[in-house]
Amino acid sequence: MATSDELVRGLVDDAGLFPPEELDMAAAVARHRADRAAASPVLTHRFVCPVGRFAELREHLADGDRIELIALGPAAWTTCREIEAVLEDPHLVLRGFETVLPAGSAEREEVLAVADALVAQVPGLEVWVEVGVRPVHGADLDLLKAHGHRAKVRCGGVRREMFPSAAELAAFLVAAAERGLPFKATAGLHHAITHTDSTTGFGHFGFLDVIAGTARALVGAPVAEVEATLLERDPAAVVEATAGLSADAAGDVRNLFRSFGSCSTSAPVEDLAALGLPSTVTAFQHRT
């Protein structure tokens, strides 16, 4: 059987600059340094930063800093020039680039051309392209897979309409599993278990629920069954569903669901501890 360690190692990207936390740059960089020093294995220790804030980020770097960076912004040729400056900075290591797949065909061609050029320029760069889920279009996922890029799925935001339904997210998980297309999630997954936020009244998916839903999708479960898994709010049931996975199944899940961006880097770790799950993680590597 898999351990919970295997399922949550390197799961959370640092998105502290984004709502609702929305730290200023100084506070975000300081927290990132502290997280790196604490070395929680649940965190990827990758810092998500908009391309338009690169100059501000560099102003707050200090001797000894070496930040693994995920750049976020439009896939445009001007972005390439911004990224070139980052590649020359010894304090920054570019690990990923996140962008959005536009609706128009001409715009898509440019986005993919820029993404392809970035990958050619930065060996090992991971490109994550946000796609819509209302409904999820299999052709979009096929396009990303053909170019060797990965998908990004939005799970929430600052407004209710930014949250997909459980059926929409389930359909995405099934489509990604069918294609073997790795994805990351963004927004809304601050906590382990699906719940309703007491302040906003918004329903949030739990990241353990998404892990469990991904596992169901990978064994060919229909969308309705994956949807029910995403809606499970009983912590014991969610923990049991994830703990019951074999080591191979856990590896398959994490090869598909790579990470999620969270504005809080403490909430996911604290949730896992509150559920009685291990706070340290044994060696576990994503299979290629």
Mean pLDDT, consecutive 10-residue stretches, the chain (288 aa), reads: 75 96 98 96 97 96 95 92 89 96 89 94 95 92 96 95 96 98 96 94 96 98 98 96 90 97 96 78 35
Q: What distance in Å separates the CA atoms of residue 230 and residue 89, rounded to the nearest whole number?
A: 41
Write down the architecture of domain 4-274 according to CATH: Alpha-Beta Barrel (3.20)
Phi/psi of residue 279, nearest 5 degrees: -95, -10
pTM score of the predicted model: 0.93
Could you state, in order of their start, the residue ranges of all structural domains in the chain?
Answer: 4-274
Name the residue among 260, 280, 263, 7 with its Cα closest to residue 154. 260
The two tokens of residue 219 are 């064994």
CB atoms within 10 A of CB 147: 16
Predicted confidence at residue 4, as pLDDT, reads 64
Predicted confidence at residue 122, as pLDDT, reads 93
- Residue 41 DSSP symbol: T
- In one-letter notation, the amino acid at residue 96 is G
User: In 3-state terms, what secondary structure has residue 273?
Assistant: helix
The two tokens of residue 29 are 């960089």
Q: What distance in Å separates the CA atoms of residue 42 and residue 252, rounded to the nearest whole number?
A: 18
Predicted confidence at residue 104, as pLDDT, reads 85
Q: What is the DSSP string of 192-242?
A: SS-EE-TTT--EE--HHHHHHHHHHHHTT--HHHHHHHHT---HHHHHHHH
- Residue 177 DSSP symbol: H
